[in-house]
A and B are shown apart, each in its own frame.
Chain A
Amino acid sequence: MFTYLLKRLGLAALVVVAVLLLLFSMLHMIPGNPAILALGTRASPEAIAEYSARMHLDKPVLTQFVYFLGNAVQGDLGQDVFSNRAVTSVIGERIGFSLALICTGMGWAVLLGVPLGCLAAVRPGSWLDRVTGVFSVGMIAVPSFLVSIWALLFFSLELHWLPAIGAGEPGDLADQLSHLVLPAFAIGLGWVGYLARMVRASMLEVMGEPYIRSARAYGLQPRRVVLGYALRVAILPTITLIGMGFGGLISSAVFAEIIFSRPGVGKMIFDAVSDRNFPIVQGGVLVATGFYILVVLLSDLLIAWLDPRVRSSL
């Protein structure tokens, strides 16, 4: 178990470094001098030289990368080019909005998709199964930014049920929640379909296993057989899917945050890329990558906790 964690964390660190290296080199291929961007076009050459030296922009790219990594390890992700505030505090302000959005989006998808998949699998061929089947494909096929736009147009502009933009008044939980509904709906909808299909397929497979027949032969109630036995096994591959799904949701959240003008990390990265605000981009991507790796690790640990076979092989 300990060895396993060590190995996984080591791998995670490697992945983060690789992602950052990729990002770093891509940013440097984009034309534009960060010093000029930071100081404005009318800055004196001395000021630019001074800034470049302070920010190590005069060093080779690889050296810059090593500096960046060294600082990142110490919790310093650099400063926002425009406001000069620490990147960590800029991200800190915004990360809550993104986390709330991603977790709510996946949360409602899980709460709806898993039971739907279960019901569909218990009665294959029933009307519920067919309706779920058609809708899942539909939901998966529509991209989340389209859902965002339609939801915005329909529920806020047409019906005036829910607010259209922003994240709500700070401190007013009800207002914040009402601002969360539409974007969370938009990014989670596809996942309802995915999860319903995944759970259905995996339930159907498990329901055909000999140990399910055993449980029925011992006279257990159908509810216990489905929820206590079949779902217990069928959920395992779904957990992996959900873990990886968070990665997809991070990118869906970027669209949703732009469309709904939510001040989250996704919108922050988007704005920073257009402004050539490289420290923010780097910091944002680092946090997103870290979050994703953490979720995947957690989902693997959850599977190990649920499946004794995996547990003993760790």
Chain B
Amino acid sequence: MTKDILLNIEGLSLDFRTNRGRVKALRDISFPVQKGRILGIVGESGSGKSTVLWSILGLLAGNAEVTAGRVDYGARDLLTLDAQALRAIRGEEISVVFQDPMTSQIPVLPYARQMSDILYRRSMSEADKRKAAIDMLRRVGIPDPDSRIDAYPHQFSGGMRQRAGIAMSMLTGPNLLLADEPTTALDVTMEAQMIGLMRGLRDDFDTTIVVVSHNLGLIAEMCDDVVVMYAGEVVETGEVHEIFHNARHPYTRALLECDPARIAEVSRKLPVIPGDIPDLTRPLPGCIFADRCQKAMPDCAKVAPPMVARGGGMARCHLLEGPLADASWPPPADVVTVGRDLGGLAPVKARSDAPPLLEVHDLNVRFRTMGPLKARLNGVSDPFVDAVLDVSLDVKPGETLALVGESGSGKTTLGRTILNLQGASGGTVRFDGRDIAGMAEGQFKPLRRDMTMMFQDPVGSLSPRKSVRALITEPLVIHGAQGRDLDTEAERLADMVRLPRSFLSRYPHELSGGQARRVGVARALALNPRLIVADEPTAGLDVSVQGEILNLMADLQAEHGLSYLIITHNLPVVRHIADRIAIMYLGRIVEDGPAAKVFARPAHPYTRALVEGVPQPDPDRRRPPTAVIEGEVPSLLRRPKGCDFAARCPLAQDACHAAKPRHTHIAPDHRHACLFPLRTPSDLTETA
């Protein structure tokens, strides 16, 4: 292993001045970045991982103040460079790939202009700059770069934009590439492509990469070295196999154990790290993780933990060295160290003979794409797109159905249509035997008690000016719950979702992501519904917290016999919580069946692509680049004539392009829409 260090961060401490006082966001951060390797910084929200990245470039928010430390790049300390010297390094020697390509590229300039601007320091002719930019766009896989270079960001799809973003950052051939959550805004199949692309670029250009992510799969698949951060401190560093197979810090260990993708056997109850990130205006004098640690001893919170080296890495924990050392730590990999709440009622088995609570039959939702005048002038005979196409599904009482798909698959539109928030253009939706599609709101209102929605954005869907008490009793007020004491109801609901009663007087901005989710669950539960449509119930939640919400939902289901329709793209979670799953692609269900069967024996190649598309949080199970599915979800405007997936399908044949495959049953409860389904388990391992 070469010990050539490109960048060395030494004792970096940083405060944010806020009106709550000084938040000590980074405390004594030290780690080296070795030349030619990919270093991953992993941590949950509030860990300060992005702040480290921005302090390397000197692009911190105005209220940030570096209080100690150095960032050595070669012979220079980047923290002491003046603005001009820093600017000379930015973009040229150290460049960045940003999190969200939708917002990080200026919408009003074409790529040609944005890219030649980056090369402003080079004494090249404009034609040469353009040529260099085209070459780089071709390298990152933009088709037809000679003409696409004149496109604007909004003309690219999400995956193409991120490719273009990577091209922009690699254009100058930087020594160091910083990637801030480079795939968080992308779908699973895109994520896999980006990981392959960045690894390829590292090999071709000998670039060192620092990637910041909360996604353990991405870190395991992409990185050589890992830095684990928690609440503004580095708790452990090491080589990727050491971290994933032999973690020594209790936090690293807990984080890995909470990842649903690492939990082999299917379990309704997911492990969690109880508690919240500590208040960083007054960090603990001892170990920062002490108050959430399962192994914490009284002294942990008082005495700073020792830094224990191993190989090239280190871990900061009392268990490893000193008077509190525990020879039995760390335990073998199969021992679970985090709290696993196995209490609560046993999950009710959905009765398969019961009549379905929700029945959707041949549902279609069409959206108009242009006005009638424009359509006539442009000679478009059918100015509509099918957002939802011939969808049939049903949900039995007490059952969880997961609707899985990438963005643009129509899964959210379907959910909204089921709840009559969106008109259907064909088909039926039956709830408890009554046809509800297109019912007038006045007629539908009583049914809203029985079927409610949990919204995707937990904070954004709560009015910022209402207290938690008002928010969770709002459904009762809307539906005229006379004669009920709202205060009692508020307390009952808070207890139900395990939200401390003192939180009832708080406002949404005073809640953490997990707490805001609980309020969302309480609102959905207020009227004792029978069906909850949950749109991405764990989106934006950290791994250590998402288990709490899912466990809560499982308990409530067992207790009240609720049915869930869960809309999500998160397959590892779905595997644990869903009874059945339905895979959507371009508004159509391509496969549905019992979750275990669909995961173990996918019949549709797209299902297999999704299942295999999730990067595994295990560096020994990296996929070869050939296992990654090509291309992107096509636009609804250009729906293929044949199978919607044919253009991307590795198994597609001529017949696939001719007509849409009909739904076929391979078992009474397992259906797919593929002409050449993957029947045998040996097909699954063929490419893996």
B98 near A308 (CB under 8 angstroms)?
Answer: no
Q: Which residues of A contact B108 (CB under 8 A)?
A: 232-233, 306-309
Residue in contact with A224 in the complex, picked from B110, B117, B168, B169, CB distance below 8 Å: B117
Residue in contact with A219 in the complex, picked from B91, B155, B374, CB distance below 8 Å: B91
- For residue A241, CB closer than 8 A to chain B, the reply is no
By beta carbon, the residue of chain A nearest B106 is A211
Q: Tell me, in angstroms, the Cα distance from A90 to B121 when the chains sit together.
A: 59
- For residue B295, CB closer than 8 A to chain A, the reply is no
Residues 1-47 of A contacting B (Cβ, < 8 Å): 2-3, 6-7
Q: Which residues of A contact B96 (CB under 8 A)?
A: 214, 217-218
B106 near A220 (CB under 8 angstroms)?
Answer: no
B122 to chain A, nearest CB (A): 12
- For residue A271, CB closer than 8 A to chain B, the reply is no
A1 to chain B, nearest CB (A): 10
Q: Tell me, in angstroms, the Cα distance from A210 to B110 when the chains sit together.
A: 17
B104 near A210 (CB under 8 angstroms)?
Answer: yes
Q: Which residues of B contact A218 (CB under 8 A)?
A: 90-91, 95-96, 117-118, 168-169
Query: How many CB-defined contacts (below 8 Å) exist between A and B?
Result: 88
| Interface size, A (range) | 20 to 34
Q: Which residues of B contact A306 (CB under 8 A)?
A: 108
Interface of B is mostly: loop
A312 near B91 (CB under 8 angstroms)?
Answer: no
Contact with A along B81-106 (1 / 0, CB 8 A): 00000011111100110111001111
Q: Which residues of A contact B75 (CB under 8 A)?
A: none
Q: Tell me, in angstroms, the Cα distance from A297 to B259 when the chains sit together.
A: 56
Q: Which residues of B contact A228 (CB under 8 A)?
A: 117
- For residue B57, CB closer than 8 A to chain A, the reply is yes
- For residue B312, CB closer than 8 A to chain A, the reply is no
Q: A211-B103, A233-B106 are in contact. Are A217 and B154 (CB under 8 A)?
A: no
- For residue B373, CB closer than 8 A to chain A, the reply is yes
Q: Tell me, in angstroms, the Cα distance from A275 to B89 when the chains sit together.
A: 73
Contact with B along A185-227 (1 / 0, CB 8 A): 0000000000000000000000001111111111111001000
Residue in contact with A211 in the complex, picked from B57, B89, B104, B154, CB distance below 8 Å: B104
Q: Which residues of B contact A217 (CB under 8 A)?
A: 57, 59, 90-91, 95-96, 98
- For residue A51, CB closer than 8 A to chain B, the reply is no
- For residue A229, CB closer than 8 A to chain B, the reply is yes
- For residue B324, CB closer than 8 A to chain A, the reply is no
Residues 333-375 of B contacting A (Cβ, < 8 Å): 371, 373-374
Q: Tell me, in angstroms, the Cα distance from A306 to B106 when the chains sit together.
A: 13
Residue in contact with B118 in the complex, picked from A2, A209, A220, CB distance below 8 Å: A220
Residue in contact with B155 in the complex, picked from A213, A220, A312, CB distance below 8 Å: A312
Q: Tell me, in angstroms, the Cα distance from A216 to B103 when the chains sit together.
A: 14
A232 near B109 (CB under 8 angstroms)?
Answer: yes
Q: Tell me, in angstroms, the Cα distance from A307 to B100 when the chains sit together.
A: 20
- For residue B152, CB closer than 8 A to chain A, the reply is yes
- For residue B200, CB closer than 8 A to chain A, the reply is no
Q: Tell me, in angstroms, the Cα distance from A7 to B107 when the chains sit together.
A: 26
A232 near B106 (CB under 8 angstroms)?
Answer: yes
A221 near B87 (CB under 8 angstroms)?
Answer: yes
A209 near B103 (CB under 8 angstroms)?
Answer: yes
Contact with B along A63-81 (1 / 0, CB 8 A): 0000000000000000000
Residue in contact with B89 in the complex, picked from A219, A221, A308, CB distance below 8 Å: A219
Residues 219-254 of A contacting B (Cβ, < 8 Å): 219-221, 224, 228-229, 232-233
Contact with B along A277-310 (1 / 0, CB 8 A): 0000000000000000000000000000011110
Interface of A is mostly: helix
Q: Tell me, in angstroms, the Cα distance from A232 to B107 when the chains sit together.
A: 10
Q: Tell me, in angstroms, the Cα distance from A209 to B169 when the chains sit together.
A: 18
Q: Which residues of A contact B120 (CB under 8 A)?
A: 220-221, 224
- For residue B377, CB closer than 8 A to chain A, the reply is yes
Residues 434-470 of B contacting A (Cβ, < 8 Å): none
Residue in contact with A2 in the complex, picked from B91, B103, B104, B377, CB distance below 8 Å: B377
B98 near A219 (CB under 8 angstroms)?
Answer: no
B153 to chain A, nearest CB (A): 9
B664 to chain A, nearest CB (A): 41
Q: Which residues of B contact A215 (CB under 8 A)?
A: 106, 117
By beta carbon, the residue of chain A nearest B121 is A219
Q: A217-B95, A220-B118 are in contact. Are A3 and B373 (CB under 8 A)?
A: yes
Contact with A along B382-399 (1 / 0, CB 8 A): 000000000000000000
By beta carbon, the residue of chain A nearest B154 is A309
B105 near A214 (CB under 8 angstroms)?
Answer: yes
A211 to chain B, nearest CB (A): 4
B370 to chain A, nearest CB (A): 9
Q: A218-B90, A219-B89 are in contact. Are A229 and B118 (CB under 8 A)?
A: no
Q: Which residues of A contact B57 (CB under 8 A)?
A: 217
B373 near A312 (CB under 8 angstroms)?
Answer: no
A106 to chain B, nearest CB (A): 24
By beta carbon, the residue of chain B nearest A211 is B106
Q: Which residues of B contact A309 (CB under 8 A)?
A: 107-108, 152, 154
B154 near A214 (CB under 8 angstroms)?
Answer: no
Contact with A along B147-177 (1 / 0, CB 8 A): 0000010110000000000001100000000
A214 near B98 (CB under 8 angstroms)?
Answer: yes
Q: Tell me, in angstroms, the Cα distance from A73 to B600 when the chains sit together.
A: 75
Residue in contact with A3 in the complex, picked from B88, B99, B374, CB distance below 8 Å: B374
A209 to chain B, nearest CB (A): 7
Q: Which residues of A contact B106 (CB under 8 A)?
A: 211-212, 214-215, 229, 232-233
Q: Tell me, in angstroms, the Cα distance from A212 to B87 when the chains sit together.
A: 14
Which of B91, B105, B110 is most buried by chain A, counting CB atoms within 10 A of its CB?
Answer: B91
Q: Tell me, in angstroms, the Cα distance from A185 to B87 when the chains sit together.
A: 42
A308 near B91 (CB under 8 angstroms)?
Answer: no
Residue in contact with B117 in the complex, picked from A2, A210, A220, A233, CB distance below 8 Å: A220
Q: Which residues of B contact A220 (CB under 8 A)?
A: 87, 91, 117-118, 120
By beta carbon, the residue of chain B nearest A229 is B106
B107 near A308 (CB under 8 angstroms)?
Answer: yes
Q: Tell me, in angstroms, the Cα distance from A295 to B88 when the chains sit together.
A: 44
Q: Tell me, in angstroms, the Cα distance from A211 to B98 when the chains sit together.
A: 9
B377 near A3 (CB under 8 angstroms)?
Answer: yes
Residue in contact with B154 in the complex, picked from A2, A213, A219, A312, CB distance below 8 Å: A312
Q: Which residues of B contact A210 (CB under 8 A)?
A: 98-100, 103-104
A216 near B107 (CB under 8 angstroms)?
Answer: no
Q: List 29 A-B contacts (CB under 8 A).
A: A2-B377, A3-B377, A3-B378, A7-B373, A210-B98, A210-B103, A211-B106, A213-B59, A214-B96, A214-B105, A216-B90, A217-B57, A217-B59, A217-B90, A218-B90, A218-B91, A218-B96, A218-B118, A219-B121, A220-B118, A220-B120, A224-B117, A307-B108, A308-B108, A308-B110, A308-B152, A309-B107, A309-B152, A312-B154
Interface residues of A (CB under 8 A from B): 2-3, 6-7, 209-221, 224, 228-229, 232-233, 306-309, 312
Interface residues of B (CB under 8 A from A): 57, 59, 87-92, 95-96, 98-100, 103-110, 117-118, 120-121, 152, 154-155, 168-169, 371, 373-374, 377-378
Pairs of residues from A and B, 7 with the lowest C-beta to C-beta distance, nearest first: A219-B90, A219-B91, A218-B91, A308-B152, A211-B106, A210-B104, A210-B103
Q: A220-B91, A233-B108 are in contact. List 12 more A-B contacts (CB 8 A).
A: A3-B371, A211-B103, A211-B104, A211-B107, A214-B96, A214-B106, A216-B59, A217-B57, A218-B96, A219-B91, A224-B120, A312-B155
